[in-house]
């Protein structure tokens, strides 16, 4: 019998109405089959671990990611797959973080949640949960069909470090702008094997030391010198620069000087504000100067992937040059280099 560990961190999916007050309260996931009786028909051996206290996903941080990664590592040999129930607001950050924390995966780690509580009549929670469990349990020739960290939401399976939350009101809350979906749930579960990472034959490696000392500067027309300096002169180790289009910024002399000064002692990663497409440093004159001063390309990484990858690399204790090199190389399918 397939063994799946359900890890409930918090989020809308685990809420039901209190019959006395009408307020939303978390239900006890140890009695999950009482609330979702359909689970008994899956014929899986389900175990549940609930975080205590449960968390609003807005309070997620690297320490909690480490706790989650260590829990999965501890239980890794005892289960065939893992389903992490998580609030949707920061789910893409957690999925990206886990993809760097847990390397050489041979088992699926599927994050899911819902836009409506599990106790609501029109909830999307039951379908998301049931299908996430099915995906986590699916094997081909004895090996996991999807041996990577993923997000399942509204009939689609996304690579975790390629997904973004783009809508707070639709059931279709997530997209993967720069990478195809890994599976689609219709009448049948259709997996797109060409896009799925292969199962590793090496031992699981867990990395939990993240350095979150990162600043973010988002470009906009008319940005002031004071706004730029507030980030460039701050005591951070790295800066994510969200630029226009294919990686372009202002070529104003004062701006380039601030960037040049910062690039001498900080790691600066250029990602595009556009959800789809890639940074191509040097394609236009406005980004050639960035390339010359040592700004590195984030290619088509999501903001979530760029942040968590930087945290991961800076936590390894390697040199700045090695971090810069690895930021431009795909580690676990998070970017497409050109």
- Rounded distance, CA 25 to CA 45, Å? 26
- Rounded distance, CA 318 to CA 328, Å? 15
Q: Is 90 a catalytic residue?
A: no
Residues 225 and 191 in one domain: no
- Rounded distance, CA 323 to CA 316, Å? 9
Report the CATH number that the domain containing residue 318 is assigned in CATH.
Answer: 3.40.50.40
Q: Going residue by residue through the chain (338 aa), what tens digit of pLDDT does each one get? A: 899 999 999 888 877 777 678 777 776 666 677 778 788 888 899 999 999 888 888 899 999 999 999 999 999 999 999 999 999 999 999 999 999 999 999 999 999 999 888 878 888 988 999 999 999 999 999 999 999 999 999 999 999 999 999 998 899 899 999 999 999 999 999 999 999 999 999 999 999 999 999 999 999 999 999 999 999 999 999 999 999 999 999 889 999 999 999 999 999 999 999 999 999 887 777 778 898 899 999 999 999 999 999 999 999 999 999 999 999 999 999 999 76
Kindly tell me the burial class for residue 31, based on how many C-beta atoms sit within 10 Å of its own C-beta (0-12, 13-18, 19 or more).
exposed
Residues 227 and 305 in one domain: yes
Residues 104 and 145 in one domain: yes
Residues 114 and 83 in one domain: yes
Q: Is residue 337 part of a domain?
A: no
What is the value of pTM for the model shown? 0.94
Residue ranges of E strands in the chain = 3-8, 15-17, 24-26, 45-50, 81-85, 102-103, 109-112, 139-140, 143-144, 149-153, 156-159, 164-165, 174-175, 183-185, 189-191, 205-206, 214-218, 238-243, 267-272, 296-297
- Give the chain's domain count: 2
Q: Which of 188, 206, 224 is the last residue of a domain?
A: 206
Residues 137 and 231 in one domain: no
Q: Which of the residues 9, 12, 112, 131 is marked catalytic?
A: 12
Residues 225 and 83 in one domain: no
Longest Cα separation, the chain: 66
Parent domain of 243: 214-327
Residues 220 and 201 in one domain: no
Residues 62 and 192 in one domain: yes
Q: Which of 206, 231, 251 is the last residue of a domain?
A: 206
Q: Is residue 334 part of a domain?
A: no
Residues 53 and 141 in one domain: yes
Residues 129 and 17 in one domain: yes
Report the CATH number that the domain containing residue 32 is assigned in CATH.
Answer: 3.40.50.1170
Residues 32 and 134 in one domain: yes
């Amino acid at each position: 019998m397939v063994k799946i560990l359900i890890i409930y961190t918090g989020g809308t999916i685990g809420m039901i109405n209190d019959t006395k007050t009408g307020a939303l309260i978390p239900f006890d996931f140890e009695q999950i089959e009482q609330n979702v009786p359909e689970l008994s028909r899956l014929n899986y051996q389900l175990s549940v671990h609930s975080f205590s206290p449960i968390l609003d996903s807005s309070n997620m941080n690297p320490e909690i990611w480490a706790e989650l990664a260590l829990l999965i590592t501890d239980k890794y040999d005892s289960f065939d797959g893992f389903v992490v129930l998580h609030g949707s607001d920061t789910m893409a950050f957690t999925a990206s973080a886990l993809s760097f924390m847990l390397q050489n995966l041979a088992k699926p780690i599927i994050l899911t949640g819902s836009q409506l509580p599990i106790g609501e009549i029109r909830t999307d929670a039951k379908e998301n949960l049931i299908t996430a469990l099915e995906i986590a349990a699916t094997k081909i020739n004895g090996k996991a069909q999807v041996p990577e960290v993923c997000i399942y939401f509204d009939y689609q399976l996304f690579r975790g470090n390629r997904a973004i939350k783009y809508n707070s009101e639709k059931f279709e809350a997530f997209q993967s702008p720069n990478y195809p979906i890994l599976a689609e749930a219709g009448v049948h579960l259709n997996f797109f094997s060409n896009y799925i990472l292969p199962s590793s034959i090496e031992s699981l490696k867990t990395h939990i030391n993240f350095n979150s000392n990162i600043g973010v500067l988002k470009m906009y027309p008319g940005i002031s010198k004071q706004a730029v300096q507030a980030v460039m002169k701050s005591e951070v180790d790295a800066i994510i620069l969200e630029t226009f289009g294919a990686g372009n910024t202002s070529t104003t002399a004062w701006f380039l000087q601030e960037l040049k000064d910062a690039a001498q002692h900080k790691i600066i990663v250029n990602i595009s504000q556009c959800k789809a497409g890639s940074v191509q440093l040097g394609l236009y004159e406005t980004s050639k100067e960035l390339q010359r001063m040592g700004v590195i390309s984030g290619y088509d990484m999501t903001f979530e992937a760029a942040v968590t990858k930087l945290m991961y690399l800076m936590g390894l204790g390697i040199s700045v040059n090695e971090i810069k090199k690895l930021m431009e190389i795909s580690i676990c399918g998070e970017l497409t280099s050109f």
